Amino acid sequence: MENNSVETALDQLDRAVANLRLTLDNADSVADAVHVASGGVVDPFVFRLAIFVLAIFVGYYVVWSVTPALHTPLMAVTNAISSVIVVGALLAVGISASGLATGFGFIALVLAAVNIFGGFLVTQRMLAMYKKKER
């Protein structure tokens, strides 16, 4: 049973890598085409979009390989990492000129901090409870 699931996981990973290579090739050719069309100047948006699309594929394959027993920790940890939005809050508080922007940034900073600490710690607490049978 154990071996079986490891095998399927490896299998999925292989397929993921193959797909990734395919998308990477495609992305390359798209980027090349844009490069030529724009006379050598590529809008950074294109690169961001390429990374975004690739990350969706990576997320798709990685999340399917998550064992259903850990779906609750998965939600808690995705919650924690989506609080990386804190970088926007830090920029607003750190270098903003306008008082309002600093205020909004500060609120965002506090909210994101609740999530970062709460999310990672509660995930850690949950994961610590998963134990194997004592033999």
Partner 1 sequence: MSVNLASFLYLVSGVLFIMALRGLSHPTTSRQGNTYGMVGMGIAILTTLALARPTLGGFFLILLGLAIGGGAGALIARRIAMTSMPQLVAAFHSLVGLAAVMVAAAAMYAPGSFGIGLVGAIHGQALVEMSLGVAIGAITFTGSVIAFLKLDGRMSGKPILLPMRHVVNAALGALLVLLIILLVGTQSYAVFWLIVLVSLALGVLLIIPIGGADMPVVVSMLNSYSGWAAAALGFTLGNLALIITGALVGSSGAILSYIMCKGMNRSFISVILGGFGGETAAAVDDGIERTVKQGSADDAAYLMANASKVIIVPGYGMAVAQAQHALRELADRLKANGVEVKYAIHPVAGRMPGHMNVLLAEANVPYDEVFELEDINSEFAQADVAYVIGANDVTNPSARDDKSSPIYGMPILDVDKAKTCLFVKRSLGSGYAGIDNTLFYKDGTMMLLGDAKKMTEDIVKAMDH
Nearer to partner 1, 40 or 97 (CB): 97
Binding track, positions 97-126, relative to partner 1; x by CB under 8 A: xx-xxx-xxxxxxxxxxxxxxxxxxxxxxx
Q: Helix and strand tally (H, E) in the chain?
A: 5, 0
Binding track, positions 1-40, relative to partner 1; x by CB under 8 A: x-------x-------------------------------
Nearer to partner 1, 36 or 117 (CB): 117
- Please tell me whether residue 1 adopts helix, strand or coil conformation: coil
Residue recorded with tokens 């909004």: 104
Please report how close the Cβ of residue 33 comes to partner 1 at its closest, in angstroms.
Answer: 20
Per the CB < 8 A criterion, the answer to whether 47 and 31 are in contact is yes
Binding residues among 57-96 for partner 1 as defined by CB under 8 A:
58-60, 62-96
Could you give the CA distance from residue 87 to residue 20 in angstroms, rounded to a whole number? Answer: 28
| Token digits of residue 115 | 């999530």
Please name the amino acid found at residue 18. A
Please report how close the Cβ of residue 80 comes to partner 1 at its closest, in angstroms.
Answer: 6
